[in-house]
Amino acid sequence: MSEIVKIVEVGPLSGLHHEQQKLTAEQKVQLIRYLKNAGLQTIEAGAFAPAHVMLNLADSSYVVEGLSLFSEGLTLPVLVPNLQGYENAMAAGAEAVTIHLSATETFAQKHLNCSIEESLGRFLPVVEKAVANHIPVRARIACVAGCPYEGTVLSSQVVNLAEKLHKMGVGEISLEDTIGVANPAQIKRLLFDVTSSVPLSKIALHMHDTYGQGMANIYGGLEFGVRTFDSSIAGIGGCGFAKGAAGNVATEDLVYLLDGLGYASGVDLESLVRVSHYVADLLEINPRSKTAHVL
Amino acid sequence: MSEIVKIVEVGPLSGLHHEQQKLTAEQKVQLIRYLKNAGLQTIEAGAFAPAHVMLNLADSSYVVEGLSLFSEGLTLPVLVPNLQGYENAMAAGAEAVTIHLSATETFAQKHLNCSIEESLGRFLPVVEKAVANHIPVRARIACVAGCPYEGTVLSSQVVNLAEKLHKMGVGEISLEDTIGVANPAQIKRLLFDVTSSVPLSKIALHMHDTYGQGMANIYGGLEFGVRTFDSSIAGIGGCGFAKGAAGNVATEDLVYLLDGLGYASGVDLESLVRVSHYVADLLEINPRSKTAHVL
């Protein structure tokens, strides 16, 4: 039997957030339905954050309600920035949440509007409540390899934060190379250091393709033993830090790799490529996946 | 001291060959000069093949003559399809040659107009002469992982051909994933099999990015111990088998990986990105390198 790799589809959340063309709540629900039909089982679905430009509160409530119609067998984490967001998400029917932190102070200040320590304080009651109510929490740590403001990031900065999140009760910690500067050797060193205090089974990788290294970094992660990877349908989302630059690794290219290596992701590549073209058409872009251009 | 990795720049030959916009011989000479200034030391420079649409005989002679003005320290293999091409290349002043074969019969028949056995017969006198005259010969074997006509390719098909070429006296054998279907595990198995009869130091990898796997495959090759890689400035060349699909791995993205991993390629990434934009402008395309979009 093939070994299982879990894909966390982030297109409907982080992907759409960075695209110029906006989708309606109905279109988002439809997109998630198609992604599910292609075999994806974990999809970051929306955000309960007033400041989150694209997915405002009302919209995400609508998405979560729409999703309840077919969400059997799906895990649909929604981004919550604080306890209020968590309560709103729960009120709307969400059953899993994502929290977002940063490994560097400057990125935290500029993008999360607080210090790293403050964000931990802010998320502590969220995680405590979630754990008490059996709501899975995943944490994404931005800038694990490099920061647009501070440059190279030491793994000690990540280790410290990951350990605290793990002790809080966070179930999955996604290491995000937000600006795509990592190389596979760096990723392996980081994983080596982080897994000194967090079990490997709780670690996910969220690789960006800014310099074309996303797939090599994922392969490095697979070699190390990581079995959970974030990716974005059609590579949507781009890069928030350099116009025209690539962002998230495309889910199609990731599935192509996993199929080739013999891992079971549960995703059907041909169906997925159809979803890629569907969302690219809605957004009036070309799919940023190489695979989608061939199949 | 850093370990050295050799990059064989194939843009001026295979890259330009597949681009719609054609460059003049002078522009090609200028391009190669810029590539040299960025630190590249081995550049496939042209073809002495009447059938090679873009680089006809007269044009390649001009290129080789032009190059003689600044080729000190450069190795500039030119593609020769047979003994006549070899003689013409030598008459024009070429000092290194490339020959092209296929691991599958159908690809050989359709693209090299002969059987695999016939191509070996055709190249035997070329390699003999070259060896006698101390002219380095590199062989590129197409379709080492998959064939557009025959599907999956067994490594035994490649091993057999590589061994014969090695015994003939070919100095470098470049394993070409012409349609970009390989994954890193497959590349490692292929390398394991091929190096049973050919020293690893004589093996190069020529990876295409058709399904976004090029950089992961190169990383797999590096892990196995390969230290020579083909790539194309700005990723020019595209894919001859699917319109709009990606072709050669971009030299910029390869250099980014090698820099990150601490290998010495001798190439300056920033200079290289300038060359990437230069050639993309001439060809009226966007660089297909991710790195070139950021730097």
Q: What is the pLDDT of residues B186-200, one digit of tens each?
A: 999 999 999 999 999
Q: How close is the nearest chain B Cα to the Cα of A180, in Å?
A: 10
Q: How far apart are CA A33 and CA B74, in angstroms?
A: 56
**Interchain pair A294, B220: CB under 8 A:** no
What are B232's two structure tokens? 């194309």
Looking at every residue in chain B, the average pLDDT score rounds to 92
Residues of B in contact with A247 (CB under 8 A): none
Instruction: Please give the single-letter amino acid code of residue B150.
Output: E
H-helix or E-strand spanning residue A267: none
Q: Collapsing DSSP states into helix, strand and coil, what is residue A248?
A: strand
CA distance A32 to chain B (A): 24
Q: Is A253 within 8 Å of B212 when comparing Cβ atoms?
A: yes
Q: Which two tokens stand for residue B98?
A: 């490339």
Asked if B84 and B126 count as a contact pair (C-beta separation under 8 A), the reply is no
Which helix (H) or strand (E) covers residue B64, if one does? Answer: helix B57-68
Tokens of B261: 């991993």
Residue B57 has pLDDT above 50, yes or no: no
For chain A, the straight-line distance linking the first and the last C-alpha, in angstroms and rounded, comes to: 27
Bridge partners, residue B141, by sequence: B101, B175
Average confidence (pLDDT) over B10-30: 88
For the residues B80-101, what does the mean pLDDT come to?
92
User: Looking at the predicted structure, is the pLDDT value of residue B58 above 70?
Assistant: no
Rounded Cα gap, residues B224 and B247, in angstroms: 23
Closest to A244 (Cα-Cα) out of B187, B190, B291: B291
Hey, what amino acid is at A202?
Answer: K
And the tokens for A49?
């954050």
Q: Is B261 on the interface with A (CB under 8 A)?
A: yes
CA torsion B9→B295→A17→A278, rounded to 10°?
Answer: -30
Any B CB within 8 A of A151 CB: no
Residue B45 to residue B80: CA distance in whole angstroms: 11
CA–CA separation, B197 vs B199, rounded Å? 7
Structural tokens at position A185? 């050797």
Q: Which of A272-276, B18-22, B54-58 has the lowest mean pLDDT?
A: B54-58
Q: Percent of chain B beyond pLDDT 90?
A: 74
pLDDT at A58: 53
| pTM of the predicted model over 0.90 | yes
Instruction: Give the pLDDT confidence score for residue A57 in this predicted structure.
Output: 46
Interface check for A205 against chain B (CB to CB < 8 A): the answer is no
Q: Are B224 and B187 in contact (CB under 8 A)?
A: yes
Contact: B291, A184; criterion CB under 8 Å: no
Report pLDDT for A295.
82
Distance of residue B51 Cα from the nearest chain A Cα, in angstroms? 28
Residue of A nearest to B269 (CA): A211
DSSP state letter for B174:
E
The gap from C-alpha B295 to its chain's centroid, in whole angstroms, comes to 25
Residue B203 pLDDT greater than 80, yes or no: yes
Q: Return the number of other C-beta atoms located less than 10 Å from residue B13's C-beta.
A: 27
> In tens digits, what is the pLDDT along chain A, a chain of 295 residues?
789 999 999 999 888 888 888 888 889 889 999 999 999 999 998 888 765 444 444 566 777 777 777 778 899 999 999 999 999 899 888 899 999 999 999 999 998 899 999 999 999 999 999 999 999 999 999 999 999 999 999 999 999 999 999 999 999 999 999 999 999 999 999 999 999 999 999 999 999 999 999 999 999 999 999 999 999 999 998 777 777 778 899 999 999 999 999 999 999 999 999 999 999 999 999 888 899 888 8
| Encoded tokens for B129 | 């002469």
Q: Residue B96 pLDDT > 90, yes or no?
A: yes
Q: Tell me, what's the pLDDT at A50? A: 65
Q: Which residue has the higher pLDDT, A50 or B165?
A: B165
Mention every residue, 6+ apart, whose C-beta is less than 8 A from residue A71: A95
Answer yes or no: is pLDDT of B245 > 90: no
**Among residues A233, A248, A230, A212, which one has the least CA distance to residue A280?**
A233
d(CA B86, CA B155): 29
Contacts with A69 (C-beta within 8 Å, 6 or more apart), sequence order: none
Helices (H), B169-268: 184-194, 214-224, 251-261
pLDDT of residue B193: 98
The pLDDT confidence band at residue B56, using thresholds 50, 70 and 90, is: very low
Domain architecture of chain A: domains with CATH: 6-293 (3.20.20.70)
CA atoms within 13 A on the CB side of A59: 21
| Best mutation target, A210, A290, A291, to test chain B (most B CBs within 10 A) | A290
Residue B199 sits at the chain A interface (C-beta within 8 Å): no
Confidence of residue B54 (pLDDT cuts 50, 70, 90): very low
The verdict on A69 touching B (C-beta cutoff 8 Å) is no
Answer whether residue B263 shows pLDDT above 90.
yes
Question: Can you spell out the DSSP letters for A143-173?
Answer: -SSEETTTEE--HHHHHHHHHHHHHHT-SEE
For residue B124, the model assigns a pLDDT of 98
Nearest CA in chain A to B257: A183
Q: Which residues pair with A208 in a beta bridge?
A: A248
Which pLDDT score is estimated for B145? 96
Q: Do A216 and B219 touch (CB under 8 A)?
A: yes
Q: Decide if B205 touches A, using CB distance below 8 A.
A: no
Radius of gyration of chain B (CA): 17
User: Which amino acid, B40?
Assistant: L
